[in-house]
Amino acid sequence: MNTIIKLCTLATLLLASGILSATTLPGPLVDAAWLEKNLTKVTILDVRNDIKSFTTAPAYTRDIKTGQQRLVRIGGHIPGALITSYRHVRRARPINGNRVLHMLPDQKDFEYFMQLVGLNKDSTVVIVSKGESTGDMTMATRLYWQLKYYGQDNLAILDGGMAGWLMDKREISTDGKRPLQGNWKITTERHALLATSDEVAAAVKTGSAQLVDTRSLALYLGTYKKSYVGSKGHIPGAKPFPNEMLTEPSAPATFTPLKTLSALATELKIDTDKDIITYCNSGHLASGSWFIFSELMGNKNVKLYDGSMHQWTLEKRPVTALKLEL
């Protein structure tokens, strides 16, 4: 066992016992250099779908002409990281007679899940995704949103995820030892972060909040739809802010510079200082725009419509198709 892994193991024990105090995060995004310097002071939640890759070595290929190594498969994890299966981050929930998929779990379920992951109370949390795509980074933003909704404050995301960490040739582990159950507790429900269907309907009717559709333009305009969404198109009055604009398109999927994102929002007639409700198909991608507007731009009047188009169409609410609304 190398030195960094030993230190991370010791830090986990100290954090669990309350002996080691939490560190101050530089902001909602951290880079790999900062994280490497502070590994022993934070708890890393590694969120991904394919759990097997957590304990599998990464794969590289070498360019014949340049001799440079190129990452071709994400594998392993940052020493001391706690694996967090994205498949269990969200749950199906009954709402007004409908079974709505991919929703925020209730307090009891989410608290128990995070304890099984190994998270302890008073932890400073850094969330790490595989970082190969915008979809990976929005797994991180979705987990961030859920933790914050349930009271976690010391919270950040590693920009570029594991892809950036590996491409920098920083130290990794493939250890699969199961952590001890943590003692993390939900301390509150921040209802101001979540929009209900009725709140979205009110925004459609009165313009009380800007509706921001974070899906691709094809889904927004309604040329096709996901199988679990009942109708093609978008919520009436919603403005597009396609999710693919939020990060680099390939590994490492670092976030687009804030100045660029602000310019894009202005061009799409989104006022980033006014009330906003973000949505997508199921509440996954919409967490990315929520993170941009709320955490990076500092607008604290941004809500995520958790049920998104899936719940909206289950409830037979109105949809607009083949129309760009700016």
Average pLDDT over residues 284-307: 98
**Residues 126, 207 within the same domain:** no
**In this predicted model, which residue has the larger pLDDT, 252 or 11?**
252
- Cβ neighbours for 247, distance < 8 A, ≥ 6 positions apart: 133, 134, 137, 253, 254, 255, 256, 288
Is the CA virtual torsion 5, 177, 133, 269 positive or negative?
A: negative
- 68 pLDDT band (50/70/90 cuts)? confident
Residue 66 forms part of a structural domain? yes
Q: Give me the pLDDT at residue 2, please.
A: 54
C-alpha to C-alpha distance for 47 and 49, rounded to whole angstroms? 7
Average pLDDT taken over every residue of the chain: 94
Long-range CB pairs of 106-114, under 8 A, 24+ apart, other chains included: 107/150, 107/186, 107/189, 110/146, 110/150, 110/186, 111/150, 111/184, 111/185, 111/186, 113/88, 113/89, 114/147, 114/182, 114/184
Number of domains observed in the structure of the chain: 2
**Residues 71, 210 within the same domain:** no
Q: Give me the pLDDT at residue 70, please.
A: 86
**Residues 81, 230 within the same domain:** no
CB 39 within 8 A of CB 79: yes
Q: Give me the pLDDT at residue 17, please.
A: 43
Average pLDDT over residues 188-202: 98
**Residues 199, 97 within the same domain:** no
> Is the pLDDT reported for residue 15 higher than 70?
no
Is the whole model's pTM more than 0.75, yes or no?
A: yes
Average pLDDT over residues 267-281: 98
Q: Give me the pLDDT at residue 227, please.
A: 98
**Residues 155, 66 within the same domain:** yes
**Residues 163, 223 within the same domain:** no
C-alpha to C-alpha distance for 287 and 140, rounded to whole angstroms? 9
Average pLDDT over residues 189-193: 98
User: Residue 64 is part of a domain; what is its CATH number?
Assistant: 3.40.250.10
**Residues 217, 252 within the same domain:** yes
Residue 175 forms part of a structural domain? no
> Is the pLDDT reported for residue 10 higher than 70?
no
Residue span of the structural domain in which 146 resides = 3-167
Residue 178 forms part of a structural domain? no
Residue 322 forms part of a structural domain? no
Strand order in the sheet with 155-158: 29-30, 155-158, 125-128, 43-48, 82-85
DSSP-derived letter for residue 21 is P
**Residues 159, 242 within the same domain:** no
Please classify residue 279 by burial: count the beta carbons closer than 10 Å to its beta carbon, then call 0-12 exposed, 13-18 middle and 19+ buried: buried
Average pLDDT over residues 174-191: 97
Residue 320 forms part of a structural domain? no
Average pLDDT over residues 153-158: 98
Q: Give me the pLDDT at residue 22, please.
A: 63
**Range in 54-58, 61-65, 141-145, 266-270 with the lowest mean pLDDT:** 61-65
- 57 pLDDT band (50/70/90 cuts)? very high
Residue 17 forms part of a structural domain? yes
Residue 239 forms part of a structural domain? yes
List 157's β-bridge partners, or say none.
29, 127
Q: Give me the pLDDT at residue 317, please.
A: 98
Average pLDDT over residues 40-51: 97
- 174 pLDDT band (50/70/90 cuts)? very high
Residue 94 forms part of a structural domain? yes
C-alpha to C-alpha distance for 238 and 225, rounded to whole angstroms? 16
- Cβ neighbours for 74, distance < 8 A, ≥ 6 positions apart: 53, 58, 130, 131, 132, 162, 163, 166, 251
How far from chain centre, in Å, is Cα 230? 25
**Residues 163, 22 within the same domain:** yes
CA distances from 35 to 18, 40, 49, 56 (A): 21, 9, 23, 22
**Residues 240, 300 within the same domain:** yes
**Residues 66, 120 within the same domain:** yes
CA distances from 206 to 40, 160, 199, 203 (A): 50, 39, 10, 5
Q: Give me the pLDDT at residue 66, please.
A: 82
> Is the pLDDT reported for residue 8 higher than 90?
no
What tokens does 243 get?
């999710």
C-alpha to C-alpha distance for 137 and 289, rounded to whole angstroms? 11
C-alpha to C-alpha distance for 77 and 171, rounded to whole angstroms? 9
Asked which of 134, 167, 200 is the last residue of a domain, the reply is: 167
CB 5 within 8 A of CB 79: yes
C-alpha to C-alpha distance for 240 and 284, rounded to whole angstroms? 16
- Tokens 């498969």 label which residue? 73
In this prediction, what percent of the chain has a pLDDT beyond 70? 93
**Residues 148, 39 within the same domain:** yes
> Is the pLDDT reported for residue 194 higher than 70?
yes
